[in-house]
Amino acid sequence: MSRIHSGRKGRSGSHRPFPLTKPAWVTAEPDETREQAVRLAKTGLSPAQVGATLRDSYGVPSIRAVTGKRMQPLLRDSGVRADLPEDLQALLKRVVHLQRHLTTHPTDNSNRRGLNLMESRIRRLARYYRRRRILPDDWSYTSARAVLQVE
């Protein structure tokens, strides 16, 4: 795979082992783990933060191995759902930060180009989510809406 906005190849990372079964040393029950995940998500944590908290504090290496479901469908079935997908929310947060930077440093052209590339990435991702019916059909990116949705 390669990067979207550069001529370089991507960075390879580590992957989980293929057999996704519950390890013998995990004592967590599926219902208990599901309740903990929903409780953490209702406090305002993102799904990635919920998974990291379960891993670090409760000794659950993978919620999918314990419950048999991935984090997003598990939270959606429990009635906990964010307004925006997590990756789109992170991109909007970065765009707002760059916009604030460019108001104080208007001649920073490299960051202005980075802002343009990030906005195109948001539009591409929004188009994907509209096709998948995760975002409403009338959702579109504007810089003013990004500021409102981040704060």
For residue 10, give the 3-state DSSP assignment: coil
For the record, the structure tokens of 2 come out as 């390669």
72, containing H or E segment: helix 71-77
What pLDDT, on the 0 to 100 scale, is given for residue 132? 94
Mean model confidence pLDDT for the chain: 89
Pair 26, 61: CB distance under 8 Å: yes
Considering only residues 150 and 133, tell me which one the structure prediction assigns the higher pLDDT.
133
pTM: 0.79
- For the stretch 22-70, pLDDT in tens is 888 888 899 999 999 999 999 989 899 999 999 999 989 889 999 999 9
Question: What are the structure tokens assigned to 76, written together?
Answer: 């959606």
User: 97-126, pLDDT tens digit by residue?
Assistant: 999 999 999 999 999 999 999 999 999 999
* Cα end-to-end distance, the chain, whole Å: 34
Q: What is the pLDDT of residue 101?
A: 97
CATH number for the domain whose boundaries are 86-150: 1.10.287.10
